[in-house]
A and B are shown apart, each in its own frame.
Chain A
């Protein structure tokens, strides 16, 4: 079973990396980019039957720092 964990900065948290990407896109001539936020995608290959609660626990204990980050989990249909 596979799960994808998307870790993103909470809204309101300054994102210097997103800002740098935004600037670089502008420098490349891409107009109309209003904002950029950078995050992480973590792919997990899990034993079948791993519960949603277990994955959430993994996110809270390690994969995301919930002080500054949100997380969202997508599971592949088995």
Chain B
């Protein structure tokens, strides 16, 4: 599978994501710079990494969402190419409008950096097919702006359509309905605050993130 990792000034999980994707798919992703206007031909997975793109100026993800490469990402997403946004990548996806809602400052105001328990809410997506619905997994988070908020109608729609992919098991950041990750309506775009690429090998302290990439590979290969 040909994949691409989008790199913005201030991204800092781009290489971790590259290592994770390469470990699972056997092929190194193309690292695509924010100023580029096209994705490599045949890109079958787009990954938007964590970090602090553009120094989180204005709002987390706001500047990155308007960078040249994101037009190509939005276009590809519209054609069904899977897009995975992790942490800052999730913030970028909400800022582009590919995902609804917004990620605000953590309710406790602290930067939260630790492993957290998640419930896999749905296994009916290309991103979660290797998990079972209701399964409890442990994945690290590291964010200041992970407090997911949307209006009640949007939250009800996300829940009703099975688009809440992951939920925190304990209070982490004040997210509405403990939402940790959501899907777009077509199911090919996932945004999540936890970092599955940081839970790939036993040496990381846990391997629960690995199946996200393995399932994705199987689903789209």
* Chain A interface residues (CB < 8 Å from chain B): 13-14, 16-17, 20, 61-63, 65, 67-68
Query: Which of A62, A63, A68 contacts B149, CB < 8 Å?
Result: A68
B152 closest partner in A (C-beta)? A12
- Whether the Cβ atoms of B106 and A16 lie closer than 8 Å is yes
Identify whether the interface residues of B are mostly helix, strand, loop, or mixed: loop
Give chain A residues whose Cβ lies under 8 Å from the Cβ of B105: 16-17
Most buried by B among A14, A17, A20, A65: A65
Q: How large is the interface on B (under 10, 10 to 19, 20 to 34, 35 or more residues)?
A: 10 to 19
Question: Does the CB pair B66–A68 fall under 8 Å?
Answer: no
B149 near A65: Cβ-Cβ < 8 Å: no
Cβ A62 vs Cβ B104 within 8 A: no
Whether the Cβ atoms of B174 and A16 lie closer than 8 Å is yes
- Determine if B147 and A16 form an interchain contact, defined as CB atoms under 8 angstroms apart: yes
B53 interface hit (Cβ, 8 Å): no
Bits for B144-157, please: 1 = Cβ < 8 Å to A, else 0: 00010110000000
Beyond A17-B109, A65-B102, 6 extra complex contacts between A and B, CB < 8 Å: A16-B109, A62-B66, A65-B59, A65-B95, A67-B94, A67-B150
